[in-house]
């Protein structure tokens, strides 16, 4: 048996069988799902694949471990019985505008319905979006009820303080030509940079220009919706919205160095209130830990900030991140508006954020923002004034104090005082 005929021969995906094209072409921006075509990241039927990468974001790696451990049959197909969305989202005109949605699959929650036949015939088509319902039970919301800032209505907020939501998990699906436009670069340049700067992850980025869709191994987005979601298509509906980037140390553990959890909880409370007033509330949670630089970088920056000669000063807040990471912020809000487009929204009535980057990203994508709501001063934790002062000085939106005045004097806790 020649080497080429060995049954354990590994075919590098960068160089597939010549002339082979997928049985399922993707026409990004088509007006309906079947014309667009399914997004197929299967690893068990190579001829069906029409994307670079695999489904599940970075959890593809754990699926690979499950196969390694003998716990998961690699050719197994998901049984999607009863998994269909627990609330109707769309379709909306934005779904077929290839300039509006480039970082998610707008039909990703409807694959079982739209590709029933192909799935029955063995195609490995998986949802990249899932829509379910939940009841949130948060101590801060119970406190808001006790303080009569919020009232129970039995629909949105219940008498025990729990809150009803529709929640949606979204895995990233990147249309590379559209992504390149958002980042102001060429598609070839983008592909090459993604390949080189990840140390060669997915050679197909450079060898397969015919593959236009990429499933990157990164965390996704979760959307929490408050109120009657059937009002989503009605453009008169008042929208209250917080777009929140993950900060595990504050969101989960309540670290007092930043305003993340307080602002998030404020977003939940205001979203619930907006829903009670007949509108819709929206909290969008993006997995972009530590300004998308990761938690190791974030903690290194904390140490550098706390050990500066003049203490943890607002004046040097952004500079310290740039010293350690080479960039002040890697979140790149350019892709964030996709979620808002996907929900069919053209306007946010109350935007619960001080970030100019988020504001600019949304408005430059044609989404009107009527009112910007900064975090109420009483919600800012003791050690977080450094962050707030630095952000205001850098031009973040605020309504209260003059931005230049309060930077030099604001100093946080030193490492010895924890």
Nearest approach, Cβ of 239 to a copy of itself (angstroms)? 19
Question: Does position 230 bind a copy of itself by CB under 8 A?
Answer: no
Question: Does position 7 bind a copy of itself by CB under 8 A?
Answer: no
Question: Does position 195 bind a copy of itself by CB under 8 A?
Answer: yes
Give the binding-site size for a copy of itself (rule: CB under 8 A): 134
- Please identify which residue in 383, 397, 398, 403 interacts with a copy of itself, judged by CB under 8 A: 383
322-341 residues in contact with a copy of itself (CB under 8 A) are 323-327, 330-332, 334
Q: Which two tokens stand for residue 153?
A: 């209505």
Active site residue 329: yes
302-321 residues in contact with a copy of itself (CB under 8 A) are 302-304, 306-308
Other beta carbons within 10 Å of 346:
14
CA distance 165 to 157: 10
Nearest approach, Cβ of 215 to a copy of itself (angstroms)? 8
Q: Which is nearer to a copy of itself, 171 or 372 (CB)?
A: 171
Closest CA to 223 of 342, 49, 80: 342
- Chain centroid to Cα 219, Å, comes to 7
Q: Are 177 and 212 in contact (CB under 8 A)?
A: yes
Q: Are 26 and 107 in contact (CB under 8 A)?
A: no
Binding pattern for the stretch 118-157 against a copy of itself, x by CB under 8 A and - elsewhere: ---------xxxxxxxxxxxxxx--x--------------
Q: Are 48 and 40 in contact (CB under 8 A)?
A: yes
Question: Does position 342 bind a copy of itself by CB under 8 A?
Answer: no
For every residue of 164-179, DSSP letters joined together read EEEEEEE---EEHHHH
Q: Which two tokens stand for residue 187?
A: 């598609």
CA distance 175 to 144: 42
Q: Which residue among 251, 329, 338, 350 is the active-site one?
A: 329
Q: Which residue among 49, 242, 261, 331 is the active-site one?
A: 331
Active site residue 331: yes
CA distance 353 to 360: 12
Q: Looking up tokens 């590098």, which residue turns up? A: 12
Q: Which is nearer to a copy of itself, 112 or 372 (CB)?
A: 112
Nearest approach, Cβ of 360 to a copy of itself (angstroms)? 14
Catalytic machinery residues: 329, 331
């Amino acid at each position: 048996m020649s080497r080429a005929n060995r049954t354990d021969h590994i075919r590098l995906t960068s160089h597939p069988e010549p002339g082979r094209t997928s049985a399922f072409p993707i026409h990004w921006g088509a007006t309906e799902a079947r014309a667009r075509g399914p997004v197929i990241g299967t690893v068990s039927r190579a001829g069906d694949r029409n994307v670079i990468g695999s489904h599940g974001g970075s959890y593809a790696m754990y699926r690979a471990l499950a196969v390694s451990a003998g716990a998961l049959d690699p050719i197994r197909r998901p049984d999607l019985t009863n998994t269909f969305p627990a609330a109707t989202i769309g379709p909306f005109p934005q779904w077929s505008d290839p300039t509006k949605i480039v970082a998610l699959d707008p039909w990703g929650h409807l694959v079982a319905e739209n590709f029933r036949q192909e799935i029955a015939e063995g195609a490995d088509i998986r949802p990249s979006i899932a829509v379910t319902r939940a009841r949130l039970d948060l101590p801060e919301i119970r406190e808001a009820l006790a303080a009569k800032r919020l009232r129970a209505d039995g629909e949105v907020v219940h008498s025990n303080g729990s809150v009803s939501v529709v929640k949606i998990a979204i895995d990233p699906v990147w249309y590379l030509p559209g992504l390149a436009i958002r980042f102001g670069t060429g598609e070839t340049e983008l592909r090459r940079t993604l390949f080189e700067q990840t140390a060669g992850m997915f050679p197909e980025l450079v060898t397969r220009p015919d593959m236009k869709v990429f499933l990157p191994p990164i965390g996704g987005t979760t959307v929490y919706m408050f109120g009657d979601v059937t009002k989503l298509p009605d453009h008169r509906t008042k929208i209250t919205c917080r777009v929140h980037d993950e900060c595990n140390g504050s969101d989960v553990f309540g670290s007092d160095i930043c305003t993340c959890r307080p602002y998030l909880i404020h977003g939940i409370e205001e979203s619930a209130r907006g829903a009670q007033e007949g509108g819709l509330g929206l909290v969008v949670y993006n997995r972009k830990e530590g300004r998308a630089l990761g938690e190791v970088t974030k903690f290194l920056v904390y140490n550098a900030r706390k050990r500066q000669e003049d203490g943890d000063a607002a004046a040097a807040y952004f500079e310290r991140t740039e010293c350690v990471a080479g960039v002040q912020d890697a979140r790149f809000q350019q892709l964030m508006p996709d979620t808002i487009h996907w929900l069919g929204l053209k306007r946010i009535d109350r935007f619960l954020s001080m970030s100019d980057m988020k504001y600019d990203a949304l408005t430059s994508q044609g989404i009107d923002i009527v009112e910007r709501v900064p975090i109420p001063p009483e919600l800012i934790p003791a050690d977080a004034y450094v962050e707030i002062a630095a952000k205001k000085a850098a031009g973040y939106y605020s309504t209260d104090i003059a931005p230049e005045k309060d930077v030099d004097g604001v100093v946080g806790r030193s490492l010895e005082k924890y």
